[in-house]
């Protein structure tokens, strides 16, 4: 396991800017009061590092559900597949929004496994997305 070292404020700022101040997984906005953390895409426990290339902005919920996982089961096929890697993959290649923009829909095995594992469509998030939609802040453009 790589040693845990403090992530500098400058690196945190770069990661947040790169993510557009949104969770890299569920796309919840930090500016709406959603607390964010630095997520190790490949967890330290799995040999990941604290280098900027292995860090992404994540809300507490997504970070907690992801834990030390790097893969999960695709609910459509039952196969074990890698989870979404924000810095190596584009969100739009693996996910889309439902017609009403309230649900994250996985369009690949990786996307479906990530939606299920990180619980990207729990009722509380659906309700928040409804409010953000009403005020024109959802869905995110990128």
Mean per-residue pLDDT over the chain, rounded: 93
Structure-token pair, residue 104: 């994250």
pLDDT in tens, 47-69: 999 999 999 999 999 999 999 99
Closest listed residue to residue 102, CA positions, set 130, 123, 124, 122: 130
104-106 and 95-97: which strand pairing?
antiparallel
Phi and psi for 40 in degrees, rounded to 5?
Answer: -85, 110
User: For 112-141, how does the pLDDT look when each residue is reduced to its tens digit (9 = 90+)?
Assistant: 999 999 999 999 999 999 999 998 888 987
Which residue's entry shows tokens 């930090």? 30
Burial class (CB in 10 A: 0-12, 13-18, 19+), 21: middle
Specify whether the CB–CB gap between 56 and 87 falls below 8 A: yes
pTM confidence score:
0.92
């Amino acid at each position: 396991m790589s040693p845990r070292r403090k992530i500098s404020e400058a690196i945190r700022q770069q990661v947040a800017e790169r993510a557009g101040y949104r969770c890299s997984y569920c796309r919840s906005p930090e500016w709406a009061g959603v607390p964010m953390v630095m997520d190790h895409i490949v967890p330290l426990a799995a040999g990941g590092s604290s280098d900027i290339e292995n860090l992404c902005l994540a809300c507490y919920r997504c970070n907690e559900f992801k834990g030390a996982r790097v893969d999960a089961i695709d609910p459509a096929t039952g196969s074990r597949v890698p989870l979404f890697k924000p810095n190596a993959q584009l969100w739009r290649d693996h996910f889309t929004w439902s017609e009403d923009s309230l649900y994250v829909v996985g369009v690949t095995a990786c996307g479906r496994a990530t939606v299920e594992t990180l619980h990207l469509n729990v009722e509380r998030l659906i309700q928040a997305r409804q409010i953000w939609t009403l005020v024109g802040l959802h869905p995110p453009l990128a």
